[in-house]
Amino acid sequence: MISPEPPYLPRIVEECQDYLIVDKPPFLLSHPTRKKKGPSILEWLQNLNPAIPFKLIHRLDRETSGLLVVAKNSAAAAYFGRQMEKRLIQKGYLAISWGELKADYLKIEAPLGYLGGAKGNEIVIRQGIVPHGTQSVTEIYPLGHGGGYSLLWVRPLTGKLHQIRVHLSTIRHPVVGDKLYGPNPSFFLEFAKRGWTEEMEKVLLLPRHALHAAYLSFFWKGEKKQFYSPLPEDLKKFLGLVQNLSKLQLNNPILANDPWGKILKELA
């Protein structure tokens, strides 16, 4: 049994007296819960400075890498909370999906919620499209495709649990490596019991889902703050092995004259 460990340490991108931005590696919890215990970003920060009451403003799934904003005091936490409510904190993700998505733009609007006792669902936390769920909106800008895969720029306009992964699975382009919303959801339970196995490697290809929180912006004291995190080495390596994706330029005609186009250049 092989249980993957974070391939690199968390990185503080920027820090001031009120907040900091952390670049989280995969296989590290954002915040421990009753059901999920283990090393976390919050624990790592508290070990760095036990005197600061760090508070995560949002979270990333354990296997998702990328940017998180963390408040260092209650006033900053309340300020960021108001921005979250008004959807003033913007996020952008890079994702590698199965299937060649041959489009310039897709907008997915679908109500999401827990599947609970739905037929065939054994996993309590699994999300899906449910009639009375929370309306969720995701914008997808394909950047290129080849060899049976696509590289996507994804903007979640809402913040539902597992939103990007569920929406991509719904259109039959699940995130590569996704144990829960990929080709075989039973891998999620098996992984929890046995860790990473050869069978999973053959089917899932990657030990974690290929989703990276690459961009984060918000307003602070009247100024727009923007942060970037390039694609991590494990996902770069995977792209390099895929025919027609190894030399892909981060590009999309719709984004050419859009502020998000400039963001992609920062990530190239």
Smallest Cα–Cα separation from 56: which of 33, 37, 34, 81?
A: 81
- 88: three-class secondary structure by DSSP: coil
Q: Is 84 left (phi over 0), alpha (psi -120 to 50) or beta?
A: alpha
Residue 262's Cβ-count burial label (10 Å; 0-12, 13-18, 19+) is exposed
Q: Are strands 65-71 and 211-220 parallel, antiparallel or unpaired?
A: parallel
Active site residue 18: no
Which residue intervals of the chain are DSSP H helices? 41-48, 74-85, 163-170, 186-194, 198-204, 233-241, 259-267
Q: How far apart are CA 210 and CA 95, in angstroms?
A: 6
From the candidates 18, 23, 61, 104, give the one annotated as an active-site residue. 61
Which residue intervals of 55-148 are DSSP H helices? 74-85
Q: How far apart are CA 212 and CA 92, in angstroms?
A: 9
Catalytic residues: 61
